[in-house]
Structure 1
Amino acid sequence: MRKISSFFEKHAFGVCEWWGEKLQLKISRIRLFFIYTSFLTFGSPIIIYLIMAFILEHKEYLKLSKRKTIWDI
């Protein structure tokens, strides 16, 4: 069981870790939230998790350049 959990922790997308840092919550609580809501809602949070993982993996490509004023186009 330890090998399986360490594999997923090493190769996971880091969505729960990112949310944990932003919200100052334990990562295990966020993971449990995703697991329990996935069972209750028949897997729809998994789709949301994958969308968040895609955004986190490609955030440098999705960021818009910061403009100082509205006239800097």
Structure 2
Amino acid sequence: MKRFTDYLETQSFGLCSALAQKWGFSTRSVRLSFVYASFFTFGSPVVLYFAGAFWMNVRRAMRQQRSTVWDL
């Protein structure tokens, strides 16, 4: 089961891992809170998840494009 969740996290956006690392929580607790929030609010956190994943991928792409501030 651990291998399956690792595969999903690496192949998907990795937003839960990034948030857990930034906030200092375990990845499992962030995932569980996302799932519980989705059940209680009828799936509305899914929209926030996709928005966060989009923003994270945009930031990653911008970092890969320019290595320094002085590159034009």
Bin for the TM-score computed over the shorter chain: 0.7 to 0.9
Return structure 1 stretches of 4+ with deviation > 2 angstroms.
1-7, 60-63
Query: Which structure 2 segments of 5+ residues have no match?
Result: 64-72
- Structure 1 partner of 2:22: 22
Residues in 2 aligned to 1:3 and 1:14: alpha-carbon distance in whole angstroms? 15
Residues in 2 aligned to 1:41 and 1:50: alpha-carbon distance in whole angstroms? 16
Q: Which has the higher helix share?
A: 2
| More displaced stretch, 8-17 vs 24-33 | 8-17
SS of aligned partner of 2:29: helix
- Structure 2 partner of 1:51: 51
Radius of gyration: which is bigger?
A: 1
Alpha-carbon RMSD = 2.2
Q: Quickly say closer, same or farther: Cα 1:62–1:10, change in 2 above 3 A.
A: closer
Query: Which structure 1 segments of 5+ residues have no match?
Result: 64-73
- Structure 2 partner of 1:8: 8
Say how many residue pairs are matched. Answer: 63
